[in-house]
């Protein structure tokens, strides 16, 4: 399976998520998966300005040329897109949110009815499954984790996919690798 | 009442958020002694100024669109900068106005949950959350199409200006439809088709991009960069 990891850790002084991902990626590779990891904080990625150029000017591509194109290309051609982040103020990091907002070129502006709700139409034939890996903060409670899961599950719906994995860095990386293996 | 307004739209001044805020703030200002100040979170360089405005506010309204099923980046960036204010005694009361291109308000329910939890995390008294769906393109719509919505926003602002709270009846009305009933889905489908033809296709054609509207620039058939 092709796995793309979006490392949303904002700060290189925080080691927990970085170390966990390094271990997990190693495990996944020894099990035959192809892993591509993006350290978002070190990349040149601007924020979405809401111009909708990716829908009405250069369909499928953002008009801002930066590293987001690399992420979009890798993401849409993967089998699993893993959003990894420390929990900050009850949600995934701004660094991760920035790239999430820049993934909208992968969708089509037209709406359709899907399971009784209005959602975006597909642009591509297939979309990767969505995974979520979180590092708890001292103030993170169960309600926070449930909220983040719920939000990513809905985001996955809009990306014509499903949230298929949620992990915590507090659990062994072996466990996460096993769960991802079973997908 | 002095109201500190944070517009969190990536488009700043030229946003649907600004269009919704305008009649609300007009209504709010009708009560003598009311005044507001407006900040645009998309102006990254003004973050320090935004933090200061929050720290000095007595009452704050955050308004922004749903973005990939949650808040836009600039809003999360602002939230992270507010971490030192968690539990501070003199934090402002917080109200939220969120809107989405999706016509149903159910898409924004998780975000509402998040924001209300955030208010409690910060220790800010919660005013409430107003959700409005179907907001895509309102900034470009002819007045006839937006008149009823803007009148409602003005009324919401008037009540807020007098009472400091969101009128529950108006709030419930703005949130309609929460979801489409099976009977209404065919009507919704016609609405979606209209939006396709009158809104998206018009823009695509204006940009000479209509023929490429289904482009898949990152599909594996297209060579790697």
pLDDT digits (tens, 9 = 90+) for B135-167: 988 988 889 899 999 999 999 999 999 999 999
Q: For residues B68 and B95, state if they share a domain.
A: yes
Nearest Cα residue in chain B from A139:
B121
Look at strands A163-168 and A129-135 and give their pairing.
Answer: parallel
A103: confidence class by pLDDT, cuts 50, 70, 90: very high
Q: Is A111 in Cβ contact with B192 (below 8 Å)?
A: yes
Residue B170 forms part of a structural domain: yes
CB nearest to B117's CB, from A60, A104, A147: A147
Q: For residues B22 and B75, state if they share a domain.
A: yes
Q: What is the CATH number of the domain that holds A76?
A: 3.40.50.360
Q: For residues B173 and B190, state if they share a domain.
A: no
What's the order of all strands across the beta sheet hosting B93-99?
B35-40, B2-7, B59-65, B93-99, B126-132
Residue B77 forms part of a structural domain: yes
Residue B222 forms part of a structural domain: no
Residue A85: which H helix or E strand, with range? Answer: strand A80-86
Residue B67 forms part of a structural domain: yes
Question: Are the C-beta atoms of residues A2 and A79 closer than 8 Å to each other?
Answer: yes
Separation of alpha carbons A114 and A157, rounded Å: 9
The arithmetic mean of pLDDT across residues B116-129, rounded, is 98
A176 touches chain B (CB under 8 A): no
Separation of alpha carbons A13 and A9, rounded Å: 10
DSSP-assigned letter for residue A104: G
Is residue B225 scored above 90 in pLDDT? no
What is the residue-averaged pLDDT of chain A?
96
Q: How is chain A split among helix, strand and coil, in percent rounded to 5?
A: 35, 25, 35
Lowest model confidence (mean pLDDT) among A78-82, A159-163, B219-223: B219-223
Taking alpha carbons only, the member of A35, A12, A64 closest to residue A131 is A35
Residue B20 forms part of a structural domain: yes
CB nearest to A151's CB, from B10, B69, B118: B69
What is the residue-averaged pLDDT of chain B?
95
Domain hosting B119: range is: 2-179
Q: For residues B65 and B113, state if they share a domain.
A: yes
Q: What is the pLDDT of residue B151?
A: 97
Separation of alpha carbons A90 and A145, rounded Å: 8
Nearest Cα residue in chain A from B67:
A101
* Overall residue count recorded for chain A in this entry: 183
Q: For residues B162 and B208, state if they share a domain.
A: no
CB nearest to A110's CB, from B9, B200, B225: B200
Q: For residues B100 and B128, state if they share a domain.
A: yes
Residue B203 forms part of a structural domain: yes
- The Cα-based distances of A69 to A57, A100, A123, B71, B79 in angstroms read 16, 12, 16, 22, 27
Q: Is B113 in Cβ contact with A59 (below 8 Å)?
A: no
Q: What is the pLDDT of residue B165?
A: 98
Separation of alpha carbons B133 and B131, rounded Å: 7
3-state secondary structure B50-93: HHHHHHHCCEEEEEEECECCECCHHHHHHHHHCHHHCCCCCCCE
Cite the beta strand spans of chain B per DSSP E.
2-7, 35-40, 59-65, 93-99, 126-132
The arithmetic mean of pLDDT across residues B80-87, rounded, is 97
Provide the sign of the torsion angle of the four alpha carbons B80, B85, B87, B91, taken in this order. negative
Q: For residues B99 and B129, state if they share a domain.
A: yes
* Chain B 136-195, residues with CB within 8 Å of chain A CB atoms: 179-180, 182, 185, 188-189, 192, 195
Q: For residues B59 and B119, state if they share a domain.
A: yes
Look at strands B35-40 and A80-86 and give their pairing.
Answer: unpaired
Q: What is the pLDDT of residue A12?
A: 75
What residues does B87 pair with on adjacent strands? Answer: none
Nearest Cα residue in chain B from A121:
B214
Q: What is the pLDDT of residue B223?
A: 54
Domain hosting A109: range is: 2-181
Q: Domain tally for chain A?
A: 1
**Percent of chain A residues topping a pLDDT of 70:** 100
Q: For residues B164 and B67, state if they share a domain.
A: yes
Q: For residues B113 and B208, state if they share a domain.
A: no
B98 touches chain A (CB under 8 A): no
Question: Are the C-beta atoms of residues A31 and A177 closer than 8 Å to each other?
Answer: yes
Q: What is the pLDDT of residue A13?
A: 74
Q: What is the pLDDT of residue B95?
A: 98
Is residue B124 scored above 90 in pLDDT? yes
Is residue B205 scored above 70 in pLDDT? yes
Q: Is B67 in Cβ contact with A151 (below 8 Å)?
A: no
Contacts of A70 (CB under 8 A, 6+ apart): A38, B225
- Complex ipTM: 0.97
List the structure tokens of B148.
């009823």
Separation of alpha carbons B5 and B51, rounded Å: 12
Residue B218 forms part of a structural domain: no
Q: Is B77 in Cβ contact with A94 (below 8 Å)?
A: yes
Q: For residues B32 and B134, state if they share a domain.
A: yes
Size of interface A-B (CB pairs under 8 A): 161
B220: confidence class by pLDDT, cuts 50, 70, 90: confident
pLDDT digits (tens, 9 = 90+) for B9-67: 999 999 999 999 999 999 999 999 999 999 999 999 999 999 999 999 999 999 999 99
Q: Is A97 exposed, middle or buried (0-12, 13-18, 19+ CB in 10 A)?
A: buried
Q: Domain tally for chain B?
A: 2
Q: What is the pLDDT of residue A18?
A: 95
Q: For residues B40 and B117, state if they share a domain.
A: yes
B221: confidence class by pLDDT, cuts 50, 70, 90: low
* Chain A 40-99, residues with CB within 8 Å of chain B CB atoms: 47-52, 55-61, 69-70, 72-73, 76-77, 88-91, 93-94, 97-98
Residue B93 forms part of a structural domain: yes
Chain A residues lying within 8 Å of B112, measured CB to CB: none
Q: What is the pLDDT of residue B36?
A: 98
């Amino acid at each position: 399976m092709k796995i793309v990891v979006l490392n949303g850790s904002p700060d290189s002084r925080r080691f927990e998520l970085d170390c966990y991902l390094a271990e997990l990626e190693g495990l996944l590779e020894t099990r035959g998966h192809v892993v591509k990891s993006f350290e978002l904080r070190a990349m040149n990625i601007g924020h979405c300005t809401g111009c909708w150029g990716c829908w009405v000017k250069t369909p499928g591509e953002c008009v801002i040329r930066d590293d987001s194109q690399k992420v979009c290309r890798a993401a849409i051609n993967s089998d699993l897109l893993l959003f990894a982040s420390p929990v900050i103020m009850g949600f995934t990091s701004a660094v991760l949110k920035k790239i999430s907002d820049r993934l909208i070129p992968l969708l089509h502006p037209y709406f359709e009815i899907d399971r009784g709700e209005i959602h975006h139409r597909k642009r591509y034939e297939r979309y990767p499954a969505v995974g979520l890996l979180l590092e708890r903060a001292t103030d993170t409670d169960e309600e926070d984790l449930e909220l983040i899961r719920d939000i990513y599950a809905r985001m996955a719906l809009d990306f014509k996919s499903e949230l298929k994995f949620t992990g915590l860095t507090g659990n062994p990386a072996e466990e996460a690798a096993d769960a991802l293996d079973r997908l | 009442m002095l109201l500190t307004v944070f517009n969190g739209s990536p488009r700043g001044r030229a946003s649907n958020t600004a269009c919704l805020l305008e009649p609300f703030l007009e209504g709010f200002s009708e009560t003598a002694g009311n005044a507001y100040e407006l900040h645009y979170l998309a102006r990254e360089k003004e973050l320090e100024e935004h933090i200061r405005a929050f720290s000095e506010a007595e009452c704050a309204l955050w308004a922004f669109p749903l973005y990939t099923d949650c808040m836009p980046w600039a809003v999360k960036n602002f939230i992270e900068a507010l971490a030192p204010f968690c539990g501070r005694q003199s934090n402002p009361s917080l109200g939220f106005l969120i809107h989405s291109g999706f016509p149903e308000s159910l898409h924004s329910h998780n975000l509402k949950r998040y924001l209300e939890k955030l208010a409690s995390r910060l220790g800010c008294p919660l005013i409430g959350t107003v959700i409005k769906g179907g907001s895509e393109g309102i900034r470009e719509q002819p007045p006839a199409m937006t008149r009823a919505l803007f009148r409602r926003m003005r009324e919401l602002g008037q009540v807020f200006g007098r009472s400091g709270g969101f009128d529950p009846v108006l709030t419930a009305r703005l949130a309609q439809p929460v979801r489409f009933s099976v009977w209404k889905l065919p009507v919704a489908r016609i609405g979606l088709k209209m939006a396709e033809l009158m809104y998206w296709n018009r823009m695509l054609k204006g940009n000479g991009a209509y023929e490429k509207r289904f482009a898949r620039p990152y599909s594996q058939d297209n060579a790697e960069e």
